[in-house]
Amino acid sequence: MIKIIDLKKAFGPKKVLDGVNLEIEAGKITVIIGRSGEGKSVLVKHIIGLLRPDSGKIIFEDMELTAMKERDWNEARKRFGMLFQGAALFDSMTVAENVGFPLKEHTDLDDADILKTVREKLRRVGLVGVETMMPAELSGGMKKRVGLARAIVMDPEIVLFDEPTTGQDPIMSDSVADLILETQRALKTTYVVISHDIPLTYKIADKIAMLHEGRIIAEGAPDEMRRNPDPILRQFLEGRAEGPIKVY
């Protein structure tokens, strides 16, 4: 379980997170939704220690992540995996080198064992025979799959997804949603997904939390969120331009 308590972060005069409180259940998929620029990525970057908060806490099991030194963070990060928006594959490495990179850096496995694990993870994300390809040769959807294979290669306890369907067509988005569901059900890992893709959210979420103006304004199971009358939440989930959220 991850507990986020009164988390605040400002960049100059702009308050991005203004007292975020959220509980992320272990072994479940939590989807954090919100408009672009509302600080969803900033929140996730706090969870994995890429950003430090101005105040507030993030507690993971018995560790206070926000109080940890960089040295301790390096150990803690091995328990996390992250899939970036653009997959963030290293373009000077092949697919196999990308996926096997964390194993090569952090374990004593030899090259044959690394390749075996890489093949298994690639198969799990639905890719076969792509080991020697370079990232530039992959389609957007394949990059996401390779990125996910790399994120789960160390068998992390928590995987963070930053807008996994951005830039994908609806069919590919649905396939990414299936992939997230399948891998989560198989691995029983805690998944935290940030997205503004509503079909994806309803399909995969065990819990949905809406971030608006730096705070979580609504949270609950998908059915609860469907019934929640909050006008801001309704406008966002129904994708209307008219409503309390102003379009600039």
How far is it, in rounded angstroms, from Cα 248 to Cα 225?
26
Burial of residue 107 (number of CB atoms within 10 Å: 0-12, 13-18, 19+): middle
Binding pattern for the stretch 81-100 against other proteins, x by CB under 8 A and - elsewhere:
xx-xxx-xxxx---------
We find the least distance from the C-beta atom of residue 195 to other proteins, in angstroms, to be 17
Binding pattern for the stretch 98-117 against other proteins, x by CB under 8 A and - elsewhere:
---xx--xx-----------
- Name the one range near other proteins by CB under 8 A: 22-30, 58-66, 75-83, 109-117: 75-83
Q: Which residue's CB is nearer to other proteins, number 73 or number 202?
A: 73
Binding pattern for the stretch 20-59 against other proteins, x by CB under 8 A and - elsewhere:
-------------------------x--xxx---------
How far is it, in rounded angstroms, from Cα 181 to Cα 173?
12
Residues 6+ apart with CB under 8 A from 91: 134, 135, 136
How far is it, in rounded angstroms, from Cα 101 to Cα 97?
6
- Name the one range near other proteins by CB under 8 A: 73-81, 172-180, 224-232, 239-247: 73-81
Which of 78, 203, 215, 234 binds other proteins (CB under 8 A)? It is: 78
Let me know the angle formed at the C-alpha of 181 by 39 and 123, rounded to the nearest 5 degrees. Answer: 110
We find the least distance from the C-beta atom of residue 18 to other proteins, in angstroms, to be 24
Whether 69 contacts 146, CB under 8 Å: no
R_g of the chain, CA atoms, integer Å: 18
Q: Which residue's CB is nearer to other proteins, number 85 or number 94?
A: 85
How far is it, in rounded angstroms, from Cα 106 to Cα 74?
11
Q: Which residue's CB is nearer to other proteins, number 37 or number 244?
A: 37
SS3 state at 213? coil
Which of 40, 77, 119, 196 binds other proteins (CB under 8 A)? It is: 77
Q: Which residues bind other proteins (CB under 8 A)?
A: 45, 48-50, 73-75, 77-78, 80-82, 84-86, 88-91, 101-102, 105-106, 160
